Structure 1
Amino acid sequence: MTNFISDNTFKYVNNFFNKKPKVAVVLGSGVKALEGLDNEAKLPYSEIPDFPRSTVAGHDGVISVGEYQGTSVAVLRGRFHKYEGHNWKNVISPVFLMQELGVTHIILTNAAGGINRVYTPGDLMLIEDHVNFHQMDKDERKALYQLIKEPRAASFYDSELNHLAKQAAKESKVTLHEGIYLSLPGPSYETRAEILAFRKMNIDAVGMSTAPEAIWAKAMGMKVIGISCITNSTYYENAMSETSHEEVVMVAKKASQDIDTLLKSVISKI
């Protein structure tokens, strides 16, 4: 048992579901997927002792555990961000909890802005690698150093899982780009100058999550895959600054069918 979540949190969730999920899926803003799993049980974050609360629109704040084609799956419908006022332990707490429940594979999804000029709203992007702009305080660095197994990991995203995802996309006829994701602390969207700079850095998509979760999940020994839903295009450099969170959620909802199809296909191959 780690000291990153309380005993009360783990015991309550473990007793409620009484299952050992193999795969966990974190859903990003507005993403609706993996509804109606077999033998599904749902637990609101608000009922879990000592567990954070999600305050961002488009995050339901519910854990669902069920089965898809015989594979036990945990779905986290909502995540936490530092810009909400959460500390680093809160941000990573869903990953800690999943690891304690026995999860070995984690799929991180997010809503992201398309920096690559080819991307259009509703497209999906497999995260090949990330650039992480989130700062770590002294306590987080120390905790990560004590836990991390591969200080010089070539990638936080599992190459075998990425291969499975590309196979799944091809079989499901879902368009799936592959690119570099930039994770920023937020909460404001990018300026025109920042978009131009990111494009020169060969960034393909930008968001405000995922990288911290991927780093910790990898350190805990989980296999990680990341999928971005492109919710707005920066083909015109001022487009990002004009984007609202409501638009992001709306586009993510419209793209949810493709995400659902892709996730189910990936899970069936794990």
Structure 2
Amino acid sequence: MKEQLNESVSYIKSKLNAAPEIGLILGSGLGVLADSIEEPVVIDYKDIPHFPESTVSGHKGRLVCGMFEGRQVLAMQGRFHYYEGYTMQEVTFPVRVMNQLGVDKLLVTNAAGGVNTAFTPGDLMILTDHINNMGNNPLIGPNDDDAGVRFPDMSRVYTESYIDHASKCADDLGMDIQKGVYVANTGPVYETPAEVRMLRMMGGDAVGMSTVPEVIAAAHTGMKVLGISCISNMAAGILDQPLTHDEVIETTEKVKGNFIKLVKKIIQTLPQ
């Protein structure tokens, strides 16, 4: 893995004009944000040695690097999921690459189902915590002590000052924003109504099939992390309607304006 990591990092470095400071992982329907990056260097995942390839609709499958609101960023237009058949180590491989490229701040986004019945499709939710309900963990196996400690603390995995900062940015923009706990399931099936009731009892506010493995890997390396979910639909059993991926993309398309405005404000004013 270390040799593969070095080869991926070397290839990406050869394409970049400057070292990135902030990493962006853009979830389903949210990759449009990368279109605002200035003087972009675009690298297809398929061209990067040892990089997985995204197979999900709404994920373009490329890195976009450049200036965004005065900061050097590296954005993933599309992520990798455990349900695609990748290992947890493959799912989190890009986070390891970002870390080796110099990224020390990570903004991770996703489209999620609303478990909290006070939520409405189209809401944006700042992640305050998460529940790993995937039955696996990217840190299982031998530990690389150069990357992080064997038993990393997860009590404040989402950086409190970043949560406060994002909340203030939303207030400054006159946006209502939710805060809550994100639950990660493996997918690719959507949850049953009974499972959603269980997740609500566990303390979950939103549910999805991503994010948590990447955040665990980021915390392992010592990155500061901010997470934002787009509540793309209400989870099963809350509304009497079937769930589809088309609905996810449709909702993220409707809220992309607010999403872009918020992320721009966050990045522009994020403390160094």
Provide closer, same or farther for how the CA distance between residues 4 and 115 of structure 1 changes in structure 2, counting only shifts above 3 A: farther
Quote how far apart the aligned CAs of 1:14 are: 0.8
Q: Counterpart of 1:33 in 2: which secondary structure?
A: helix
What percentage of residue pairs aligned between the two structures are identical? 35
Quote how far apart the aligned CAs of 1:34 are: 3.8
Amino acid at match of 1:132: N
Unpaired runs of 5+ residues, structure 2, are none
The residue number in structure 1 matching 2:231 is 230
Given the two structures, how large is their TM-score scaled by the length of structure 1? 0.92
Unpaired runs of 5+ residues, structure 1, are none
* 2:196–2:237 Cα contact (<8 Å) kept: no
> Structure 1 residues 126-135 or 66-75, which shifts more?
66-75
Amino acid at match of 1:257: G
Amino acid at match of 1:151: P
Distance in 1, Cα, partners of 2:158 & 2:188: 25
Amino acid at match of 1:64: V
1:15-37 residue CA offsets vs partner (Å, 9 max, x unmatched)? 11132111111001111214232
Provide closer, same or farther for how the CA distance between residues 46 and 40 of structure 1 changes in structure 2, counting only shifts above 3 A: same
* 1:114–1:120 Cα contact (<8 Å) kept: yes
Provide closer, same or farther for how the CA distance between residues 141 and 257 of structure 1 changes in structure 2, counting only shifts above 3 A: same
> Structure 1 residues 19-28 or 32-41, which shifts more?
32-41
* 2:83–2:186 Cα contact (<8 Å) kept: yes
Distance in 2, Cα, partners of 1:238 & 1:145: 45
Provide closer, same or farther for how the CA distance between residues 4 and 227 of structure 1 changes in structure 2, counting only shifts above 3 A: farther
Distance in 2, Cα, partners of 1:235 & 1:84: 22
Distance in 2, Cα, partners of 1:4 & 1:230: 38
Where do residues 15-164 of structure 1 align in structure 2 (5 Å cutoff)?
Answer: 15-31=14-30, 32-136=32-136, 140-143=139-142, 146=145, 147-148=148-149, 151-164=152-165
Distance in 1, Cα, partners of 2:225 & 2:17: 24
Amino acid at match of 1:211: V
Q: Counterpart of 2:158 in 1: which secondary structure?
A: coil
Quote how far apart the aligned CAs of 1:153 are: 3.4
1:63-120 residue CA offsets vs partner (Å, 9 max, x unmatched)? 1111123210111111101110111221001101111110010000000000111111
The residue number in structure 1 matching 2:9 is 10
* 1:117–1:234 Cα contact (<8 Å) kept: no
Distance in 1, Cα, partners of 2:116 & 2:109: 18
Does residue 193 of structure 2 align to residue 192 of structure 1? yes
Given the two structures, how large is their TM-score scaled by the length of structure 2? 0.92
Quote how far apart the aligned CAs of 1:239 are: 4.7
1:137-183 residue CA offsets vs partner (Å, 9 max, x unmatched)? 7x842345843376333221000111110011111222210001101
Amino acid at match of 1:28: G
Quote how far apart the aligned CAs of 1:4 are: 7.3
Q: Counterpart of 1:187 in 2: which secondary structure?
A: coil
Amino acid at match of 1:3: K
Amino acid at match of 1:186: G
Does residue 169 of structure 2 align to residue 168 of structure 1? yes
Amino acid at match of 2:6: D
Distance in 1, Cα, partners of 2:236 & 2:73: 37
Provide closer, same or farther for how the CA distance between residues 268 and 4 of structure 1 changes in structure 2, counting only shifts above 3 A: farther
Amino acid at match of 2:41: A
* 2:63–2:74 Cα contact (<8 Å) kept: yes
Q: Counterpart of 1:41 in 2: which secondary structure?
A: strand
Provide closer, same or farther for how the CA distance between residues 77 and 239 of structure 1 changes in structure 2, counting only shifts above 3 A: farther
Distance in 2, Cα, partners of 1:267 & 1:236: 36
Greater than 4 Å deviation, 4+ residue runs: none
Distance in 1, Cα, partners of 2:3 & 2:183: 26
